[in-house]
Chains A and B, each alone.
Chain A
Amino acid sequence: MSRARPMSSSTEAGGAPWAADAPEAVHERQTFGMWLFLFSEVLFFSGLFLLYLAYRSRHPDGFRAGAAGMQVALGTANTLVLLTGSAAAAVAVADLEGGRTGRSALLQAATALLGLVFLGVKALEWRADILAGFYPGAAAMAGRSHGEQLFCSLYFMMTGVHGLHVLAGTALFGASLRRTLAGRVRPGHGIFLENTGLFWHLVDVVWIYLWPLLYLVR
């Protein structure tokens, strides 16, 4: 592999498209690498969901009681926010590939903004929970059943970890937007945006399951 090769496509320079450093091959490797990372994230979140399901099966009444106080309206609003953000991210990638860089940049900004909206709503929700004495270690929780206490701890842990991922995704879209405006992310050079989008969609998928398990199912 020659490091002296210019950055233009090796195929344009007469190189073989199946060469290890052909843009197509490198793109495929970078995408595959991102998927491998996403798979590790799936395993990580699977552990959390498994913990939830295992404890729920042992304490169904406690989990039902704990979930009764969930703010379904806020959780639902956040679901719609994340689904819209995911769509915006997907269209941003499609737009970049189609040469509509300006619109792609707008949608990247919209995705990041929706990420901030999600975090804001989640912060409001947590604030209300904490003021109501619903948080791990609260004095008010001491008198509740073991199942309720477990639900409370799992709720804050799972939504907290998910929230950190939303924060990371928001930051990544901010970085992608900056690169797009600088011309570094552009049609034919969109792997950073594509991989950021993949991460964002996984974060959305995790919430797709968190929402019914924590808010809807009794």
Chain B
Amino acid sequence: MSGTGDVGTGEARAASVRSLLLVWSALLALAVLSWLAWREGLWERASEGALAIATAKAGLVAAYFMRLRTEGRSLRLLLLLLAAIVALLFGLTMLDVAWR
């Protein structure tokens, strides 16, 4: 069988443990912030804020834990295409729902 596909140069892509722990702290802080805002009833008046915080958390996970920051251009382009497809899917469907 040909190469297993594993490389010895993972160190080049590896984020430091310290930076990963910092991201984890930020994620926990954002989660607590979201919960506190819920407890104060903030999301009853501005539910978009909860989704904005969720998007920030998702971005941190994608960028640092999933290493999208260091992935190649082809993958990032594919991700952009996926985002466009999902946006189109959501946009057209919600437009249809709104017009019914």
Contacts and interface: CB of A to CB of B under 8 A. Distances in A.
Interface of A: 1-3, 5, 7, 9-10, 21-32, 35-36, 39, 42-43, 46, 50, 53-54, 57-58, 72, 76, 79-80, 83-84, 86-87, 89-91, 93-98, 187-191, 197-198, 201-202, 204-205, 208-209, 211-213, 215-218
Given A25-B5, A86-B24, A87-B65, 20 more contacts: A7-B4, A21-B2, A23-B8, A83-B27, A86-B27, A90-B23, A96-B10, A97-B10, A97-B11, A189-B4, A197-B65, A201-B61, A201-B62, A204-B61, A208-B54, A208-B58, A212-B51, A213-B51, A216-B37, A218-B47
A213 B15 CA distance: 31
Contact of B1 (A7, A31, A94, A201): A7
Contact of B7 (A2, A24, A79): A24
Contacts of A197: 65-66
A84 B5 contact: no
A183 B28 CA distance: 33
A69 to B, nearest CB: 15
A209 B34 CA distance: 12
Nearest to B8: A188
A124 B43 CA distance: 26
Nearest to B24: A87
A91 B17 contact: yes
B6 A212 contact: no
B86 A42 contact: yes
Contact of A29 (B5, B23, B34): B5
Given A86-B65, A98-B11, A212-B51, A10 B94 contact: no
Contact of A212 (B13, B43, B93, B97): B43
A28 B73 CA distance: 12
A201 B61 CA distance: 7
The 8 closest A-B pairs by CB, nearest first: A26-B5, A97-B10, A87-B24, A21-B2, A189-B6, A212-B50, A188-B8, A90-B65
A10 B65 CA distance: 29
Interface of B: 1-11, 13-17, 20-21, 23-24, 27-28, 31, 34-35, 37-38, 43-44, 47, 50-51, 53-54, 57-58, 61-62, 64-66, 71-72, 74-75, 78-79, 82, 85-86, 89-90, 93-94, 97-98
A218 B44 contact: yes
Given A39-B82, A98-B14, A191-B5, A208 B50 contact: no
B2 A187 contact: no
A3 B93 contact: no
A26 B34 CA distance: 41
A58 B97 contact: yes
Nearest to A49: B90
Contacts of B11: 97-98
